[in-house]
Amino acid sequence: MASKSSPARPIDFPGFFADLVRCETRLYNALNDRLRERHGIATSQFEFLRSLREHPGSRVADLATEFAIGIGAASKGIDRLEKQAWVIRRTNPADRRSSLLDLTDDGLRLVEAAEATFTETLAELTSDALGGPSGPAAVQMLSELRSVLERDQIGLPTG
């Protein structure tokens, strides 16, 4: 006996966008509060430090592309991390007009400690929704959406 499947409901794109953005904002703010409380850093600083740990020798332009932000914003963020002695700039031997970025030992210790807080907090905040049977599919869908947007270079700042 063939089963009847219900017709797919049309996607409410404005609702999807509102949910996506509000979830991101609430998670970002909650993570920001916890990281500030425990490690004295903002979520954006943690993200830069984590990226530099994973990709030592990155340039400011690489961070700007990774986070889809302007080069000026990325440079200011790195300036703040450098001022705290968590990041150092070194001359780029391939292009003396740019610098390569690396974590200092203090920066590495900080990002490793903060990563535990970040991961625990994110798991705590999302476990009710992602812990069910549809959780892995939701995570996969967002990963695929991000891949398509990045592949097609959608949403990069201009100028």
**pLDDT score of 139:** 94
Is residue 5's pLDDT more than 80?
no
**pLDDT score of 3:** 55
pLDDT per position as a tens digit, 95-113: 888 899 999 999 999 999 9
Q: Which residues contact 143 (CB under 8 A, 6 or more apart)?
A: none
pTM: 0.86
**pLDDT score of 8:** 84
Please provide residue 99's backbone torsions phi and psi, each rounded to the nearest 5 degrees: -115, 155
Is residue 4's pLDDT more than 70?
no
pLDDT per position as a tens digit, 35-76: 999 999 999 999 999 999 999 999 999 999 999 999 999 999
Which of 1.10.1040.10, 3.30.2420.10, 1.10.287.610, 1.10.10.10 is the CATH number of 38-148? 1.10.10.10
**pLDDT score of 159:** 58
Sequential DSSP letters for 84-106: TTSEEEEE-TT-TTSEEEEE-HH
Contact 139, 127 (CB under 8 A): no
Give me the chain's average pLDDT, please: 93
Helix (H) and strand (E) counts in the chain? 6, 2
